[in-house]
């Protein structure tokens, strides 16, 4: 016979997994309680740019499931400038009269404090890190799930099957674009999406080092200089700095952008060594590489407004650092004959006003998923940029 448990949830558990309320409730098997001071802490965090979106998710679940929990009353409210809220939560549990309460918290000091008060505590064992849509939707759909246009599924033979406007197609071949051979099946499928003529916009999400920029540039050169379906390549990048700011930079626009876009130049030169592409360079030797602005252009985001881009391949790099408004302003510049590649890693949001959920890349996936001219894929694999990057990813640094 199953014994009903009385769980009291701490703030850190709700922030780590907004669905913990329903998991602990386990249908109607257990009782779940939320201390009043936990609600106060959630209220304090709701305007935090890094936690606000999780708080919103927690509040949504609380609002949608009022019958699944009870709020413990408090006789007094903690001073918001003290660090004694945990003591007030323990007092609320004691005053509640709940039989054999179990405090669920991942705060080990709080667990020790609970033990001193004679309250049993447990760590939350089913931690599920929050995933945004750009991570959750990988571009693959299980056979039992709702069909999504321009997505993939695995066949019984273990091969990826593309579901497009013309039906299903097994991808049992390997691409070689601009002499670039994909390292794994996911890179191969990214190439498939970027070169399909009926798909105008592709978003690619991955952690660092899985080749997003390199693949996109290879596809762009292929479309503009081999297939000749497009006339020019634009690369757009938000100028977000990591660490100490560079401050004012002298010189022309290209000179100001050089510290931010040197990696793009290096990748294009690497592709140039794989296959000659002299037409996009005014100078490809010496300390300063110059691109022909008629064939290849690096653009700061601020210069996009008012432009009308046509017959071009547009690569938007680090889209996770763009806001929804910036995405709308940028994508509304795209005219006829544009192919757009949106690249990013939502785990590397450097814009202090954005987070894992409200960034530009995640907005794209949320709003465009299932549209006939849009596709999305998450790159992954055993190897990334190199052994140190592999260590960073695999260790969870």
- Residue 321 near residue 354, CB atoms below 8 Å: yes
The closest of 331, 352, 329 to 340, measured between CA atoms, is 331
Tokens coding 143: 């056979």
Q: 350: which residues sit within 8 A by CB, 6+ positions away?
A: 240, 241, 242, 321
Domains in the chain with CATH codes: 6-122 (3.40.50.1010), 133-138+176-395 (3.40.50.300)
pTM of the entire predicted model: 0.69
pLDDT tens readout for residues 352-392: 778 787 889 999 998 999 999 999 999 987 655 556 665 66
What are the CA-CA distances from residue 42 to residues 9, 10, 59, 357 (Å)?
Answer: 12, 10, 8, 18
**Hey, is 9 helix, strand or coil?**
strand
Q: What is the pLDDT of residue 259?
A: 60
Q: What percent of the chain has pLDDT over 70?
A: 83
> Hey, which residues does 102 pair with through a beta bridge?
7, 120
The Cβ-side half-sphere exposure at 249, using a 13 Å CA radius, reads 12
Res 252 pLDDT > 60: no
pLDDT tens readout for residues 270-326: 999 999 888 898 887 766 778 898 999 988 887 787 789 999 999 999 999 998 888
pLDDT tens readout for residues 16-32: 778 888 889 888 889 99
Burial of 171 (0-12, 13-18, 19+ CB in 10 A): middle
Res 241 pLDDT > 50: no
Q: What is the pLDDT of residue 115?
A: 83
Pairing of strands 160-164, 151-154: antiparallel
**164 φ, ψ to 5°?**
-115, -170
Quick one: pLDDT band at residue 160, thresholds 50, 70, 90? Answer: very high
- Residue 373 near residue 334, CB atoms below 8 Å: no
Q: What percent of the chain has pLDDT over 90?
A: 39
């Amino acid at each position: 016979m199953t014994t009903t448990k009385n769980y009291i949830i701490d703030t850190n558990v709700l922030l780590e997994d907004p669905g913990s309320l329903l998991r602990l409730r386990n249908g109607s098997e257990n009782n779940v309680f939320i201390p009043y001071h936990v609600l106060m802490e959630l209220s304090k965090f709701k305007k935090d740019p890094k936690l606000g979106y999780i708080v919103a998710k927690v509040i949504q679940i609380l609002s949608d499931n009022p019958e699944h929990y009870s709020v413990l009353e408090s006789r007094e409210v903690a001073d918001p400038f003290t660090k004694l809220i945990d003591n007030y939560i323990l007092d609320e549990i004691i005053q509640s009269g709940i039989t054999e309460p179990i405090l669920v918290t991942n705060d080990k000091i709080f667990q020790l404090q609970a033990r001193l008060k004679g309250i049993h505590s447990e760590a939350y064992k089913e931690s599920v890190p929050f995933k945004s849509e750009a991570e959750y939707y990988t571009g693959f759909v299980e056979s039992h799930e709702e069909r999504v246009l321009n997505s993939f599924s695995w066949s019984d033979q273990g091969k990826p099957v593309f579901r497009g406007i013309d039906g299903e197609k097994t991808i049992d071949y390997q691409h070689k674009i601009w002499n670039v051979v994909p390292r794994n099946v996911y890179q191969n499928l990214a190439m498939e999406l970027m070169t399909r003529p009926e798909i105008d916009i592709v978003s690619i999400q991955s952690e660092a080092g899985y080749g997003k920029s390199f693949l996109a540039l290879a596809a762009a050169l292929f479309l503009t200089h081999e297939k000749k379906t497009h006339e020019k390549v634009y690369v757009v990048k938000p100028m977000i700095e990591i660490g100490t700011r560079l401050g004012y930079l002298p010189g022309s626009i290209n000179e100001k952008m050089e510290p931010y876009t040197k990696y793009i130049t290096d990748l294009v030169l690497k592709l140039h060594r794989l296959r000659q592409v002299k037409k996009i360079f005014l100078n490809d030797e010496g300390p300063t590489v110059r691109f022909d602005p008629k064939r290849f252009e690096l653009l700061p985001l601020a210069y996009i407004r008012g432009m009308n881009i046509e017959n071009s391949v547009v690569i938007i790099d680090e889209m996770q650092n763009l806001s929804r408004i910036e995405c709308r302003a940028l994508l509304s510049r795209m005219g006829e004959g544009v192919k757009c590649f949106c690249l990013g890693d939502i785990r590397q949001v450097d814009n202090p006003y954005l987070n894992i959920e409200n960034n530009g890349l995640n907005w794209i996936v949320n709003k465009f998923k299932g549209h006939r001219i849009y596709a999305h894929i998450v790159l992954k694999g055993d190897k990334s940029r190199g052994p140190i990057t592999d260590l960073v990813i695999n260790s969870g640094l």
